[in-house]
Chains A and B, each alone.
Chain A
């Protein structure tokens, strides 16, 4: 090794050159304690306690090392994390590698910002009553499902597979959109606008399809940042604007997104969405067949009941007149005997009266009077005479006695005083 200032005469040994670079780099303030930002890749924590990784962005990347115990490492840092480091450039002479020796490393708190925005949006939607709104009912048999999701995604093929298991050939329209990245929110909003158009009866008629009656908005799992489009207000508003029910089926079980909270139905995953909204055709057909059977059996039994009632009525009807006649006959006989009795009584009374009348009449019979010594006077023509008026001297009269009669002549008449 030659001292500085010495004129070098031949080629420099590489190790010496590397040492030279190392010293130069170490003296430049630009390369010391620099704050740098990038994405973590090839994150490896060795048993020795050292951590090796690369820091990268779209334009480049550099190796980095965190020596054991030199700084605390946030446990959330992993492959793909956005981080800010304070590092000093160093050359590893033995291998000629340039690397960053990290003194501090912090995850960039993108999520913190996003979480705050999500919370504010939820508060706003809650105040507007959108979180408590009455949800639209999922159709029992959807006639046209629109699926808004990533074209060619694993989530989509899962959904297709499950739909075809449950209801082969169920009508569906897939609208392929970007579901992550900066353009995702806008594409999702546009995709939902398309579903609104397809739900319109006229548009549907024009396209010769039933209107869309159910929308599934789905994507598979991913990092919270990947799913972030589903936490944004324009997407939430587009869901709320849907005239037909929207199912939010984003991410995994544990992810709860704004889209889940405003949708008509929240499914934990795209597959779960299918399980919940696509009925099994076999089951439905079985239920309808069963209903068919019950309808027939119940109606038939009801008809048999009706027939039995008719039979009973019929036989009652047949015996009814006889019963009526018998009753009438009995009634008549009762009445007849009452009449007979009444007549008999009445006759008895009459004959008593007659007997009494007879006695009275007998008492007043003229013969009886004659027998008592009176006599009855008649004109020659037979009229009974009860007054001297009209009698002529010399007129012939007949005197009747009890035992005979005598012809006589009026000699003289004389009227009692005081009589007229």
Chain B
């Protein structure tokens, strides 16, 4: 995985892979703990992504938002 924060989709895919690997079993203590920690971290990230999707509802006419953006630029 890259250093950049994974997207929700990437996180879920990796999580799925980790869980499947653990469910298949047969790895050592070190690897188990490492995978568990990574999985827990990914879960935390996914849950925080959900919270991030919540926000304000903006409803603006075209002219309003255009002038807002214009004034922000200056």
Contact with B along A269-291 (1 / 0, CB 8 A): 00000000000010011001001
Given known A-B contacts A140-B12, A175-B65, A298 and B52 have beta carbons under 8 A apart: no
CB pair B60–A171 under 8 Å, yes or no, is: no
Given known A-B contacts A191-B62, A303-B29, A298 and B49 have beta carbons under 8 A apart: no
B57 within 8 A of partner (CB)? yes
A35 within 8 A of partner (CB)? no
B1 within 8 A of partner (CB)? no
When distances are taken between beta carbons in the complex, the residues of chain B under 8 Å from A143 are 49, 52-53, 55
> How many residue-residue contacts, CB under 8 A, span A and B?
117
Contact with B along A151-171 (1 / 0, CB 8 A): 100000000100000010111
When distances are taken between beta carbons in the complex, the residues of chain B under 8 Å from A32 are none
* C-alpha gap A143/B49 in the complex (Å): 8
When distances are taken between beta carbons in the complex, the residues of chain A under 8 Å from B19 are 291, 294-295, 298
A174 within 8 A of partner (CB)? yes
CB pair A194–B65 under 8 Å, yes or no, is: yes
* C-alpha gap A303/B40 in the complex (Å): 16
A306 within 8 A of partner (CB)? yes
For window 209-230 of A, CB contacts with B under 8 Å fall at 209-210
B18 to chain A: closest residue by CB: A295
When distances are taken between beta carbons in the complex, the residues of chain B under 8 Å from A171 are 53-57
A353 within 8 A of partner (CB)? no
Contact with B along A300-342 (1 / 0, CB 8 A): 0111011000000000000000000000000000000000000
CB pair B58–A174 under 8 Å, yes or no, is: yes
When distances are taken between beta carbons in the complex, the residues of chain B under 8 Å from A187 are 62
B4 within 8 A of partner (CB)? no
Contact with A along B1-37 (1 / 0, CB 8 A): 0000001110010011011001101011100110110
Total contacting residues, chain B, CB less than 8 A: 40
**Per a CB cutoff under 8 Å, which of A139, A151, A170, A194 touches B59?**
A151
When distances are taken between beta carbons in the complex, the residues of chain A under 8 Å from B43 are 288, 291-292, 295
Q: Which has the most chain A C-beta neighbours within 10 Å: B53, B56, B62? A: B53
Q: Which has the most chain B C-beta neighbours within 10 Å: A187, A203, A285, A288? A: A288
* C-alpha gap A63/B19 in the complex (Å): 76
Shortest distance in angstroms between A398's beta carbon and chain B's nearest beta carbon?
Answer: 97
CB pair A139–B7 under 8 Å, yes or no, is: yes
Shortest distance in angstroms between A206's beta carbon and chain B's nearest beta carbon?
Answer: 6
Shortest distance in angstroms between B5's beta carbon and chain A's nearest beta carbon?
Answer: 13
When distances are taken between beta carbons in the complex, the residues of chain A under 8 Å from B27 are 302
Shortest distance in angstroms between B51's beta carbon and chain A's nearest beta carbon?
Answer: 10
When distances are taken between beta carbons in the complex, the residues of chain B under 8 Å from A175 are 60-62, 65
CB pair B22–A298 under 8 Å, yes or no, is: yes
CB pair B57–A295 under 8 Å, yes or no, is: no
CB pair B50–A141 under 8 Å, yes or no, is: yes
* C-alpha gap A270/B43 in the complex (Å): 32
Q: Which has the most chain A C-beta neighbours within 10 Å: B7, B16, B33, B55? A: B55
Q: Which has the most chain B C-beta neighbours within 10 Å: A170, A171, A172, A298? A: A298
Contact with B along A174-201 (1 / 0, CB 8 A): 1111000000000100110010011000
* C-alpha gap A171/B59 in the complex (Å): 11
A400 within 8 A of partner (CB)? no
Shortest distance in angstroms between A76's beta carbon and chain B's nearest beta carbon?
Answer: 34
When distances are taken between beta carbons in the complex, the residues of chain A under 8 Å from B46 are 288
Shortest distance in angstroms between A218's beta carbon and chain B's nearest beta carbon?
Answer: 14
Can you list 5 pairs linking A and B with CB atoms under 8 Å apart?
Answer: A139-B7, A141-B49, A143-B49, A198-B69, A285-B50
